[in-house]
Chains A and B, each alone.
Chain A
Amino acid sequence: MKSALVVFPGINRERDMMMALEELTGEKPASVWHTETSLPKVDLVVVPGGFSYGDYLRCGAIAARSPVMAAILAHAAKGGKILGVCNGFQILVEAGLLPGALMRNAGLKFVCKDVRLRVENDSTFFTRIMKKGDVVTCPVAHGDGNYFADQNTLEQLENEGRIVFRYTENTNPNGSVNDIAGIVNSTGNVIGMMPHPENMIAPIHGHTDCRQLFESLLAA
């Protein structure tokens, strides 16, 4: 499966994501710099984590208005798959590809630790070899991961099964409403999540739970 990683100034998790994609999809992803105006022909575009533009103004706000975003929006409009992790999730939300907003953690501190994620929707391109209710260990590392959406949007997300991952009871690290850790758009081709699955795929990471997420990419 062909993939591309979009890199903005200040992003720092692109190498981890590149290694995960290369190992688990069997193909090295293309790297696309933020000033480019087109994407290579790929199935999946990944917006990795980090601190684009130093989190200035709002996390992801400036990256979301980069030249490359027009090509990413076009990829999404054609039904192409997009995955945003951490800052990548913030960028997709700021770009309007996913609803809601990611606000300062309720505890005001940067949180870097492992959390437990429950799979709520097992039919997405990133969860389809899993079962609803499966729980995986996955690290988070963010200061602004507090998911917020207005009541109507939340009801829509809940009723349409668009919460992909939830922090399990008492492990919500940031105050996210309804313990939301990851969501999918209405057409099922854009996923954003705050935790870092690319950092939980090898024994050296402590667990390999998140290999299943990447393996889902290859399942038909």
Chain B
Amino acid sequence: MKARIRITLKTGVLDPQGKAIEGALAGLGFSGVENVRQGKYIELDIAAKDRAAAETLVKAMCERLLANTVIENYAVEIQ
């Protein structure tokens, strides 16, 4: 099974990279762009007996390593 993990900064956590991207987009003439937030995307293949088991495992990976839950949220999708 393939797991797709999206890691984003929590609301209220300053994202200087998002701000810089927002400034660069404005500089290129893309108007009306607001609230740019940069995150991470991780893909992995996992051996598990079913989707629920895979999701449990990947969530444990997020909690223990892939995300820093002090500042980040994560979303897991299994296919």
Interface contacts (Cβ under 8 Å), in number, total: 37
B interface residues, tally (CB under 8 Å): 11
**CB nearest neighbor in A for B42:** A57
Give the segment of B9-17, B25-33, B43-51, B52-60 that binds chain A. B9-17
- Considering only CB atoms, which chain B residue lies closest to A94 in the complex? B68
Residue of chain B at shortest CB distance from A106? B16
A115 CB to closest chain B CB (Å) equals 19
Q: Is the interface of A mostly helix, strand, loop or mixed?
A: loop
Contact A148 B14 (CB under 8 A): yes
9 closest cross-chain pairs (CB), A and B: A101-B70, A101-B71, A106-B16, A108-B16, A104-B16, A108-B20, A58-B68, A101-B68, A65-B65
Given contacts A108-B20, A148-B71, contact A103 B66 (CB under 8 A): no
Q: Are A106 and B65 in contact (CB under 8 A)?
A: no
> Cβ of A103 and Cβ of B65 under 8 Å apart?
no
A67 beta carbon closer than 8 Å to chain B? no
Q: B interface, by DSSP: helix, strand, loop or mixed? A: helix
Residues on the B chain within 8 Å of A161, using CB: none
Q: Is A61 part of the binding interface, using a Cβ–Cβ cutoff of 8 Å?
A: yes
Binding site for A on B (CB under 8 A): 13-14, 16-17, 20, 64-66, 68, 70-71
**A103 x B64 contact (CB < 8 A):** no
A20 to B8, CA, bound (A): 40
Q: Tell me how far the C-beta of B76 lies from the nearest C-beta in chain A, rounded to whole angstroms.
A: 16
Nearest chain B CB to A82 CB, angstrom units: 19
CB-CB under 8 A from A101, the residues of chain B are 68, 70-71
A contact residues around B17 at 8 Å (CB): 104, 108
B-chain residues with CB within 8 Å of residue A106 when the two chains form the complex? 14, 16
Beyond the given pairs A101-B71, A148-B71, A175-B16, 13 more chain A to chain B contacts, judged by CB atoms under 8 angstroms and listed by A's residue number, are A65-B65, A94-B68, A100-B70, A101-B70, A103-B16, A104-B16, A105-B16, A108-B16, A108-B20, A146-B14, A146-B16, A148-B13, A150-B70
Check if B13 sits within 8 Å of A103, measured CB to CB: yes
Instruction: Compute how far the CA of A61 lies from the CA of B65 in the bound complex, rounded to whole angstroms.
Output: 7
